[in-house]
């Protein structure tokens, strides 16, 4: 398994490089890529990206060795499952609060809160006390919610309100962030493996390594982003009373937005189908995040390298998506969403056999995990494109929050079911819980596939769900 992981990483790195070069060549030939040469915008974009990417880097460093750390502290799989459930439950609890905090505390202050809470989360990993680790998972849920809302909120606000840049330039920045994010994920696995295994510092090392990145991120927010805040204060003196009146009732506005989002969700069949696909697909991913380490770890693979392989497979899928939706091949995102769910179903079907108790097949399981991550590379840009087409911008945050609630609940129920099966099983039956879980996930993915096919059939002649020439290609390239 050790040799297999390194060989797979080299092969996937070469594949990603080739696909990226091919995708960029086609984009340059089509001349549809959005570029902005405005010096003020480029400076502002660089200011945001160098801070945001530090936050993403700290987040990715914690991915490869989380399960291994709990196992290193001699916790049982059922106990580790509860820790993961606490993390997901905190995401359910803090996801709606994160949007309110940006209004109540301020966007910059909320980003600083992210750095503080995530640093505290990393420090809890030094403790072997179970309740301290639960606290760490709660802090991790808060931090994850803030990472997905606060930074984007700050950037969009300053982009439009402070600098008055065109809104059409916003996707350019987030497209660059997405490109860097793929490389950061792959690199984080390598660095985590270096410190945890090659330097023999143990599985807690990547978590401690994330703290300096979070500290640097906080310093940039405190020092560099303060200049943007001064510009805002200087330009909005005449609107201070209106600003205060808006800030006086953030909870009321948030509640009203949620109610409007729920009403819109159930009034539009396309949105219901898309939400069903998202809830089923992504809840399975949370179960996968929990199970990949215990499935492969008995064979002693380098977990950081395995993590990099998984992220490289996802990156390859993203590059293939860009190629497939280019003018040369003209595949529709709805087609590729169906392909993603089909690949994921096949991967999970494979895992129900490769994880059979008494005769595990770790190499086949590793291949199935890579296939699942390849499916993710198709899935996320497809869903992002379709969300942008069928959910109005003013209702998108509330509707997506409604999508996430069943997603987290399904994942929590699956992990609780695994906890009950593992804790109630004998020594010779413990492995059957993993197999049954993958079988259940395969069933959920089959339901997601049926929903994706229904969405495609419903929107077969719907222009909103199809690429439409240059505009559609630009949306794909910028991640909208």
Mean pLDDT, residues 424-442: 71
Nearest-angstrom CA–CA distance, 333 and 340: 10
Average pLDDT for the chain = 82
Given CA atoms 417, 420, 423, 426 in this order, what sign does their dihedral have? negative
Which pLDDT does position 211 carry in this prediction? Answer: 96
Given CA atoms 273, 276, 280, 281 in this order, what sign does their dihedral have? positive
Mean pLDDT, residues 269-290: 88
User: What SS3 class is residue 25?
Assistant: helix
Which pLDDT does position 243 carry in this prediction? Answer: 42
Nearest-angstrom CA–CA distance, 92 and 101: 15
Which pLDDT does position 233 carry in this prediction? Answer: 55
Residue ranges covered by each domain of the chain: 47-174+200-226, 249-480
Which pLDDT does position 30 carry in this prediction? Answer: 57
Task: For residue 261, name the pLDDT band (cuts at 50, 70, 90).
Answer: low
Domains 47-174+200-226 and 249-480 share a fold: yes
Range with the poorest average pLDDT among 34-43, 122-131, 222-231, 369-378: 222-231
Task: For residue 265, name the pLDDT band (cuts at 50, 70, 90).
Answer: low
**DSSP-assigned states of every residue in 100-167:** HHHHHT-HHHHHHHHHHHHHHHHHHTT---HHHHHHHHHHHHHHHHHHTTHHHHHHHHIIIIIS---G
φ, ψ (nearest 5 deg) of residue 359: -145, 55
Range with the poorest average pLDDT among 43-52, 56-65, 381-390, 445-454: 381-390
In the chain, what percentage of residues exceed pLDDT 90?
A: 43
**Residue 302 or residue 153, greater confidence:** 302
Q: How many CB atoms lie within 10 A of CB 132?
A: 13
Give me the CATH code for the 249-480 domain, please.
1.20.1250.20
Nearest-angstrom CA–CA distance, 340 and 320: 12
Determine contact, residues 26/326, Cβ cutoff 8 Å. Answer: yes
Q: List, for residues 357-388, the tens digit of each pLDDT value.
A: 777 788 999 999 999 999 999 999 999 888 87
Nearest-angstrom CA–CA distance, 55 and 52: 5
Which pLDDT does position 50 carry in this prediction? Answer: 93
Mean pLDDT, residues 24-33: 62
Q: List, for residues 192-240, the tens digit of each pLDDT value.
A: 999 999 999 999 999 999 999 999 999 999 988 876 555 555 444 434 4
- What top-level class would CATH report for the domain 47-174+200-226? mainly alpha
């Amino acid at each position: 398994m050790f040799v297999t992981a390194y060989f797979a990483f080299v092969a996937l790195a070469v594949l990603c490089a080739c696909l990226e070069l091919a995708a960029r060549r086609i984009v340059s030939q089509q001349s549809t890529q959005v570029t902005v040469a405005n010096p003020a915008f480029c400076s502002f974009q660089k200011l945001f990206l160098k801070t945001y990417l530090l936050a993403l880097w700290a987040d990715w460093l914690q991915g490869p060795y989380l399960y291994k750390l709990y196992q290193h502290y001699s916790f049982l799989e059922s106990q580790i499952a509860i820790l993961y459930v606490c993390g997901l439950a905190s995401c359910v609890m803090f996801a709606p609060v994160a949007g309110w905090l940006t209004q109540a505390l301020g966007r910059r202050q909320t980003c600083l809160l992210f750095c503080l809470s995530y640093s505290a989360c990393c420090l809890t990993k030094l403790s072997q006390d179970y309740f301290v680790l639960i606290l760490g998972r709660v802090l991790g849920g808060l931090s994850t919610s803030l990472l997905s809302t606060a930074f984007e909120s700050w950037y969009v606000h300053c982009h439009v309100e402070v600098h008055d840049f065109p809104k059409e330039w916003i996707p350019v920045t987030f497209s660059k962030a997405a490109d860097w994010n793929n490389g950061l994920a792959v690199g984080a696995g390598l660095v985590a493996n270096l410190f945890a295994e090659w330097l023999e510092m143990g599985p807690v090392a990547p978590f401690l390594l994330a703290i300096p990145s979070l500290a640097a991120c906080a310093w940039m927010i405190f020092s560099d982003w303060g200049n943007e805040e001064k510009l805002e204060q200087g330009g909005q003196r005449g609107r201070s009373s209106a600003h205060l009146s808006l800030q006086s009732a953030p909870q009321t506005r948030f509640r009203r937005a949620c109610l409007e989002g729920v009403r819109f969700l159930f009034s539009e069949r396309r949105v219901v189908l898309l939400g069903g696909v998202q809830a089923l697909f992504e809840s399975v991913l949370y179960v996968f995040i929990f199970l990949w380490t215990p499935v492969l770890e008995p064979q002693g693979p380098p977990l950081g390298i395995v993590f990099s392989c998984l992220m490289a497979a996802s990156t390859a899928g993203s590059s293939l998506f860009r190629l497939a939706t280019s003018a040369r091949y003209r595949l529709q995102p709805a087609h590729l969403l169906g392909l993603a769910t089909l690949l994921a179903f096949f991967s999970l079907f494979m895992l129900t056999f490769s994880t059979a108790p008494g005769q595990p097949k770790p190499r086949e399981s590793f291949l199935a995990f890579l296939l699942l991550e390849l499916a993710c590379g198709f899935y996320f840009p497809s869903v992002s494109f379709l969300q942008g087409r069928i959910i109005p911008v003013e209702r998108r945050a509330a509707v997506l929050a409604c999508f996430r609630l069943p997603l987290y609940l399904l994942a929590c129920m699956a992990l609780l079911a695994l906890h009950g099966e593992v804790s109630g099983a004998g020594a010779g039956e413990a492995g059957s819980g993993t197999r049954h879980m993958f079988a259940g996930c395969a069933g959920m993915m089959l339901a997601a596939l049926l929903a994706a096919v229904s969405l495609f059939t419903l929107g077969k002649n719907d222009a909103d769900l199809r690429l439409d020439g240059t505009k559609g290609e630009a949306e794909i390239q910028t991640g909208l």
